[in-house]
Amino acid sequence: MENQTVNMDRISIEGLKVTSSSSVPAFVLLLLTYIFIMVSNLGLVVLISMDRSLQQPMYLLFCNMSVNDVFGATAIIPRLLSSIFTPIAERYVYYISCVVQAYAAHFHAGTSHTVLMVMAFDRYVAICNPLRYATIMTNRMAVKLSAGAWLVAFFLVAVLLSLAIRLTRCRRVIVNPFCDNASLFKLSCQNLLVNHMYGLSSAVLLLGSSLCSVTLTYLRIAIVCLSSKNKTLNSKALQTCATHLSVYVIMLVASFTPMIIHRRPEWADSGKVASVLFHVVPPALNPLIYGLQCKELRQKIVKFCRTV
């Protein structure tokens, strides 16, 4: 009995399926991507924190996204890298480590939506109420909204994972590149109705709130821009909104791609690889989009590179 209990705490995980001939290219590509994510996102955070002129609500919200992207990538990529050269039959993870990774993965996904909702509100106030922006969106307000965005995701995911770890386990195999909520509750043979209902309802709530808030916000911004004859205002609004919407669209595509692919059995392996995209593609592209589209950031980055 004691040996069985110990064995149940050690779970077999499929990880990233690559052929022996593609192991080295996959490892190098993933490693370089991870290094780029860390350097670009952390560099953006350091730049904003050190430059007083950039310590404004909009840039503080950028820091939220960068920190979350670093967190999400670190939760997934290092473990994938460590298992690439290990045969699938020999890939194991302890249950508690699997729970931690699942929590981190879902927390990163949830925070991505809540932070972008706050950023949409910031752009709405800046464009639709420019005269009141300085009084509404202070640095203190930006910190409060950021804390709220992180706390909402924290509690939603805490309940989600609590429902999964309460279940007794009768299986020891996770057929997925990394641990997530579905992988955890599928280890059980108990009734999973509550897990499915909460998982679906929380996903609908978060995604629905995100889509509705961003859509309504930018519809309002579009109306203001169309009714305004100020070309300078319209140009700046278009630039900042295009940046935010590009990030949002990339995140949605990375979210829905694995869901769509998983519905085709013949694309099952591709779907597993696509599930990693959410934690790799947006974190790699977000700092590029922000750095290139935001004039102030672009100028600071160019100035810093010239001085180095």
What pLDDT digit, counting tens, does each position of 252-296 carry?
A: 777 776 666 655 655 666 667 777 888 888 898 888 887 766 767
62 exposed, middle or buried (CB, 10 Å; 0-12, 13-18, 19+)?
Answer: buried
Q: Which residue type is seen at 235?
A: S
- 187 pLDDT more than 50: yes
Are 27 and 81 in contact by the 8 Å Cβ rule? The answer is: yes
CA distance 180 to 71: 15
With tokens 């609590």, the residue in question is: 162
Q: Which residue type is seen at 143?
A: V
pLDDT in tens, 107-140: 999 999 999 899 888 888 888 888 888 898 988 9
CA distance 156 to 262: 24
Q: Name the DSSP letter for residue 174.
A: E
Mapping DSSP to helix (H, G, I), strand (E, B) and coil, where does residue 51 land? coil
Radius of gyration of the chain (CA): 21
Listed in sequence order, the residues at least 6 apart from 245 whose beta carbon sits closer than 8 Å to its beta carbon are: 214, 218
State the pTM of this model.
Answer: 0.87
pLDDT in tens, 133-147: 889 898 899 999 999
pLDDT band at 304 (very low <50, low <70, confident <90, very high): low
Listed in sequence order, the residues at least 6 apart from 36 whose beta carbon sits closer than 8 Å to its beta carbon are: 284
Lowest mean pLDDT among 2-6, 33-37, 208-212: 2-6
- 196 pLDDT more than 90: no
Q: State the Cα angle at 73 between 72 and 75, rounded to 5°.
A: 65
Mapping DSSP to helix (H, G, I), strand (E, B) and coil, where does residue 13 land? strand
CA distance 293 to 183: 38
Q: Whose CA is closest to 49, among 36, 35, 62, 34?
A: 62
HSE, CB side, 13 Å, CA atoms: give it for residue 144. Answer: 7
As given in the structure block, the two tokens for residue 252 are 């949605």
Are 123 and 66 in contact by the 8 Å Cβ rule? The answer is: no
HSE, CB side, 13 Å, CA atoms: give it for residue 4. Answer: 4
- 40 pLDDT more than 60: yes
